[in-house]
Amino acid sequence: MELQLSMVVLEVRDLDASRRFYRALGLDVPEPRRDRPVIAHRMPSGVTLLLTTRFASVYDPEWSRPTRGYQQLLEFFVGDDGAVESIWHELTAAGYHGRMPPTRTAGPYAAMVDDPDGNVVLLTSDAAASPDA
């Protein structure tokens, strides 16, 4: 069996705030169940984005939330350069922190915005990040 990335798990502070952000990004994130502090959204690529308020904090006694900087980038292929600009403007106009405006990098055309927990979301038109690549 070939090893596959199946899920990205984000330990979030506020499940509703995270749901609103990822919906504003364009994902059809479901409402959480009342009995479980978790939301799972499976993307067409097969990777699931899982948002939870209690996994690492419950099962890893050494876990602590970063106090400075960020540890990862979540890259979302959004289509063409215009889509990168449009989504970045929509998210920053909604009050989310824009970390990097739409920019022609050494690689893809990209922008960065923080989700409510400070996770950095990379918006890109890089064809290599497309689920069809």
CATH number at residue 30: 3.10.180.10
- Mean pLDDT across the chain: 90
Q: Is 97 a member of any domain? A: yes
pLDDT at 62: 87
pLDDT at 3: 65
The count of domains in the chain is 1
pLDDT at 129: 73
Q: Evaluate if residue 72 carries a pLDDT over 70.
A: yes
pLDDT at 67: 84
Percent of the chain residues past pLDDT 70, beyond the cut: 98
Give me the domain span that covers residue 117: 7-64+71-129
Q: Is 59 a member of any domain? A: yes
Q: Is 116 a member of any domain? A: yes
The confidence band for 100, taking pLDDT boundaries of 50, 70 and 90, is: very high
Q: Evaluate if residue 37 carries a pLDDT over 90.
A: no
Q: From CA 131, how far away is CA 37, in angstroms rounded?
A: 28
pLDDT at 10: 93
The confidence band for 58, taking pLDDT boundaries of 50, 70 and 90, is: confident
